[in-house]
Structures are given as structure tokens and as C-alpha cells.
Structure 1
């Protein structure tokens, strides 16, 4: 039996719905508590430059009010570094960010941005924040992440998800997870995962954590967030033989 896989629930799009009308409802912090009660192992929240979903106040509240580890997704900018150092989340995942994109479109170029990333990675690590890099499942990017000294990489599963579970894309994820683990990195994965496609990814033995958000928040419209998280937890455990 493979070790149990952690589930991080991304609550960004609870805030997206709130922001569509303004005000306080629905509350992403309440969503975090519901996810925790349903079996989530952590909470992920992306504070974007344009604050299109999560806000600075949301991040501060999550740090104060939830018992689960908070994974702050952030761009590699001085502004986001300062916010992370002020709030001290459990973890920070550095992601690429473009103002015009609807969602994160690709992995971070860890190989090409070494000199930009190195001081940010160092300062986060010195503050006791566990740093990860959201990267494409490519050997070049995995090896660059290892050279940067991060303890964790998160593999971008979007191409796999958008290809209807392509065998080739799944193979890239498996190969990259194996390579990352051989370099001493903890391996996470996420983006575009759903009930329909999570099983083969969850079965990759080197993975320690999946981060899933948009699908769960969408499914919650029909079944409730607790039921959606619990069902994802069940499917992940089934894939692992837990």
C-alpha cells in the first residue's frame, strides 16, 4: 500500500464569487473550515497582483483562524515576498503570473529565472516558510528547482487534465515525479484535476500532495463543499489503496 496522499483545497474561487458582488459572502475562511471538516489536509490560496479573488485581509485571516497548514501561492515579486514574510504561512508556492491570464497558464521557468528566484527562495526559507515551485513536468525544470534549494516542487497537471488523461502526459508526470524524488525533493501536483482524472495522478507513488480548487468549488454548487471534498478524498485514497 502506498503512503496516504495529502489533499490541499484551493479556496480562491469562493473569493471570486464573493468579489462578483462585493460584500462578505461567500466567505473563503468559512470554506476553509468546511474543507478541513471534510478531510482536507491543507488550504491553498493565491494572492494575485490584481487581487481578483483572495485579498490581503483574507490571507491574514486564514493564517490566524484556520488550524490546517496554509499554502500561499505567490508571484516572485518584492510585494508578494513582503506579504509572505509578514503573514508567515506554513508554505509558499511560487507561481508564474500574467495579468491577462484567466488562470495560471504554465509552469514557472525555474531554469531561466534562477537569479530572480534565488534571493526570494532564500528569504522565504530563512523565515521558516516551506518553499515550493510550480513547474512543468520537465527534467530541466526539476533539476533547476533542486539547484535553487527548494524542498518541494509542484508539478503542473494542466496539460494532462486538458488532454483527457493522455498517456503521454501522464508519463511525463510520472517521470518528473521520479526524477524529483531522486533529487531529494518532495513532490506535489495540481491544476485541472477532477473526479474523472484524479485517479491515475493520485496513484503516482512519489507524490505527497495534490492541490485542487476550481473543480471542487464548482462541484460544491451542486453537492456542497463538504461532500465534494469528501468525494475527492475518497477517490484519492482509492487510487492509493488506502
Structure 2
């Protein structure tokens, strides 16, 4: 199990004043030196946080896994192929959303991904991950496309209003992880995870490989610093 730190909101802080700092690449270096296995970033079409120049600096400075989250637009596919990250995670992207609000709807996008997206990325050496809700039908369709990995959307679990809802979401995530694993794909997870709910997820869901954590980790680091915060997450994962 690996911790990948999403450093998008380091860029959000920089962009608030336009002063050129803090530098997401510097943050990535601190995270890796503290023990993180890699870095996640989301280059959005509106460039609200990570910018094109950040992407190339991250490619230069990140030593571990580099996960490029993106929509499946032709523009992003071309940038991804040029940068050559280890992993490309395809996510839905809405212009007005504050953050990614759910998984891809595979029944809606299947033909486009089959005919345009996957052919464009196959042969690049970049592993393809799809960001999905824990729905068996979506997972089966992702397998039919030839996806290398599935990142399970954990936001519904993380934001569950009560224990019963949380337990139901944990059951869905656990069953989804078993299916992904049995189909020969890598099981990743992310969205809404923090120091309180991460131990619960790990206790109930097997086969997890990359855990992507961003907003909660970066927010806590305002008080603790990045090094200590990364190490606190790793303590949980290493148990």
C-alpha cells in the first residue's frame, strides 16, 4: 500500500496571490522525502490550481510514482503523452464543481473511451486508471476497455452522515475491490480521506495499492508541516 499525495492545493495557495510560491514541485519533494511513494496532480481545463508549467516541473522533480489526473479531452491526452507520467487517472470534470464529485459513468462514456481515448493512450507506456464509484457494472466495463487500474471514489464513504450509511459504503467498496482484484486490475482509492476515516477504510477494504490524499493532508500541514503530516498518514498505512 502506497501513499500518493495530491499537491493541487499547494498551487491553489500560490495562485491566491500570484507571487510564485509556494511551489508545488518543492512540496512534492518534501512529501517524497518524508516517505510518500509519489505525487498526484489534476491539470484541469480551467487551470484553477495546477498549471502546465507545474506539470513539467513535477515530471522533473518527482522520483516516485507520478499520477496525472485529467479529463479525457484531446488536449489533456496530448499533454499526458508528452509528459509520460507513470499513471494517468481519467476523471469526470465539471466546470462549476469545487472538486471531482463522483466517478465516471461508464455506460455513457464507454464508446468514446473505446474508440478515441484508449487507442490514443495505448502504446504510450502510461498505465490507465479510471476513477469510478464502487459499481460492479462500471468496473466490468472498465475491464472490457483494458484499464490497468481503478481508483475507487471514496467520497461517499468519507462524507457519510451516520454509521449505517458509512457501513453500507464500506461494504460496497470492499466488494468492488474484490471484483477489481479478481479481474486482474490494480485497486487504488481516493477522495475525502483523512486521518480519522483512513484507518476505517484500510480495516475493511482489501487489495488497496495507491491511496491518494490531498485536501485533508495539505490542510493539516498548515499546522503540522508537510513532513510531519505525511509521516502521520504513513503510520496509519504501515500498521
TM-score interval (norm. to shorter):
over 0.9
Q: Which residue in 2 is equivalent to 1:23?
A: 19
Deviation, 1:202, is 2.1
Structure 1 residue 168 corresponds to structure 2 residue 164:
no
Match of 2:184, SS state, is coil
CA contact (8 A) 2:38 2:62 kept: no
Q: 5+ unaligned residues in a row in structure 1: which ranges?
A: none
- Counterpart Cα distance in 1 of 2:111 and 2:139: 16
1:64 Cα deviation from its structure 2 partner: 1.4
User: How big is the alpha-carbon RMSD for the aligned residues of Structure 1 and Structure 2?
Assistant: 1.0
Native 8 Å contact 2:134 2:152 kept in 1: yes
Shift of 1:87: 0.9
Which residue does the alignment assign to 2:223? 222
Consecutive unaligned residues of structure 2, counting only runs of 5 or more, are none
| TM norm structure 2 | 0.95
Aligned equivalents of 1:213, 1:124: Cα separation in 2? 26
Q: Secondary structure in 1 aligned to 2:199?
A: helix
Q: Which residue among 125, 130, 137 is the counterpart of 1:128?
A: 125
Secondary structure at the counterpart of residue 238 of structure 2:
helix
Q: Separation in 2 of the partners of 1:46 and 1:26?
A: 17
| CA shift digits 1:8-66 (9 cap, x unpaired) | 10000000000011121111000000000111111000000000000000001111122
When the two structures are aligned, how many residues end up with a matched partner?
234
Distance of 1:130 and 1:19 partners within structure 2: 30
Shift in Å, 1:201: 1.6
Give 1:111 shift.
2.7
From 120, 142, 148, the equivalent of 2:139 is 142
Instruction: Write the distance in 2 (CA, Å) between the matches of 1:121 and 1:22.
Output: 36
Question: Residue 186 of structure 1 aligns with which residue?
Answer: 186
Worse-matched range after superposition: 138-147 or 111-120: 111-120
Say which SS state the counterpart of residue 113 (structure 1) adopts. Answer: helix
Whether contact under 8 Å (1:111, 1:145) holds in the other structure is no
